[in-house]
Chains A and B, each alone.
Chain A
Amino acid sequence: DAGVIQSPRHEVTEMGQEVTLRCKLISGHNSLFWYRQTMMRGLELLIYFNNNVPIDDSGMPEDRFSAKMPNASFSTLKIQPSEPRDSAVYFCASRAKRTGTEAFFGQGTRLTVV
């Protein structure tokens, strides 16, 4: 199994530009989490999908952030417009059908907004 695949691994963009981060889940997994990691705030849960439906988006910072699951194996996190304070490492993680089991993380996307 290839594991959770994120792209791109690194993204540098200018303030005001749209940024799209991508995530491919492990085959057969039905839960998807997006996290943001910074030195100041640690690892924050942004949004959680279960069976393609957003269950908890209370961690999404503001309307500039949006996330979708167009199908069961793929998700995007979009920031529009981007700001320097969005600079962070963004992780997605997927989990198998049973609740209470662990999530498997991708390698992350390091986003720098200049």
Chain B
Amino acid sequence: GNSVTQMEGPVTLSEEAFLTINCTYTATGYPSLFWYVQYPGEGLQLLLKATKADDKGSNKGFEATYRKETTSFHLEKGSVQVSDSAVYFCALSAQVSGYSSASKIIFGSGTRLSIRP
């Protein structure tokens, strides 16, 4: 079936450190891939996305590359800030069996990131 596995947290880094949060997926066909971010008390917000193999999504200094050969979509940032502290979710959009034009979005378990000043 379709699933997303991401790095367990919590992850604690110092400000300006390099960040990697690993994400791998299992899916039939060619899913779109997403990273969402959730700040305390809020809903999820799209951070970046990629819709086909080798695409790189980027936003606010974060990047992730759609790697079909390794079924991965790892999130990276070169220099994190205290304001990046949040929970990060990897997700995929997977076609629903029997419906050619319908796809559901499945999330990983989330990774809590804390940045120390």
Contact = CB atoms under 8 A, between A and B. Distances in A.
Given A43-B89, A55-B96, A55-B99, A107 B106 contact: no
B43 A107 contact: yes
B102 A55 contact: yes
B105 interface: yes
Interface string B31-65: 11010100000111110010100000000000000
**Majority-rule SS of B interface residues:** strand
Contact of A45 (B34, B42, B51, B105): B105
A42 B106 CA distance: 11
Contacts of B34: 102
A99 B32 CA distance: 9
Interface in A9-43: 31, 33, 35, 42-43
A49 to B, nearest CB: 10
Give the contact-size bracket for chain A.
20 to 34
**Majority-rule SS of A interface residues:** strand
Interface in A79-107: 91, 93, 95, 99-107
26 contacts: A4-B43, A31-B102, A33-B104, A35-B107, A42-B107, A42-B109, A42-B110, A43-B107, A43-B109, A45-B106, A45-B107, A48-B104, A50-B99, A55-B99, A55-B104, A56-B102, A91-B43, A91-B44, A93-B43, A93-B105, A99-B101, A99-B103, A100-B32, A105-B45, A106-B43, A108-B42
Interface of A: 4, 31, 33, 35, 42-43, 45, 48, 50, 55-56, 91, 93, 95, 99-108
Given A99-B101, A101-B93, 6 more contacts: A42-B110, A48-B96, A50-B102, A55-B104, A56-B96, A99-B103
